[in-house]
Amino acid sequence: MPLPLAHTAIGVVVYDLSRKNDTVTNRLAIAALIVFLANLPDIDIVIGLLFQGDEGAFHRGPTHSLLFAISTGFLAANAWRLLSQIPRIDPLTCFLLILSHVAADFFFTLSPVSLFWPLELNWVDECTELGDVTIPVFLQNYRDAAILTVCGVIILLNRMIPQSHHPAFPRVLHKRSGRV
């Protein structure tokens, strides 16, 4: 399973590839929002701990679905209306940040996710304890190292390849020319 750092790195890649300009004034607020949204589906772990004493009780359920990504992405994109410190990010980018977590869990783990909830519902099968989560953090982080490396390479390429050679992602900054 990707750990929060890997989910965050994937979220940074999603944000970097989807942003339309580089006029963000509060980079710390953007970074905090990326970390929050890229890890938001794992809120089900906290819910499981609070209500069942088992962090896996509700894991990979409704919070790991397209419906959750769409609805919370829309809410996150409009959160700046309630609190001015929250940066404005378009709804599609917010959706993609949340979906990046679900996609990473889908592709990098064996446990199913509830992608099409409420039409399907999957939970983590076994009861988990705190040690079941902390041991992989220290002993199985080689997978996350690979994810971090790939994410770093993608960001570097995105920043270096001129827009004319990068048609899939038209928002590539041209540092020298100042064009977006």
For residue 133, count other CB atoms closer than 10 A to its CB: 14
DSSP state of 125: S
Cβ within 8 Å of residue 165, ≥6 positions away:
none
Asked if the model's pLDDT at residue 27 lies above 50, the reply is yes
* pLDDT (tens digit per residue) in 109-119: 888 899 999 89
**Separation of alpha carbons 75 and 44, rounded Å:** 18
**Separation of alpha carbons 45 and 129, rounded Å:** 11
* pLDDT (tens digit per residue) in 134-167: 555 555 677 788 898 999 999 999 888 865 555 5
User: What number of H helices and E strands is found in the chain?
Assistant: 7, 0
DSSP state of 163: G
**Separation of alpha carbons 155 and 158, rounded Å:** 5
Q: Is the peptide bond before 170 cis (omega within 30 degrees of 0)?
A: no
- Rounded to an integer, the average pLDDT of 122-133 is 61
> Maximum CA pair distance of the chain?
56
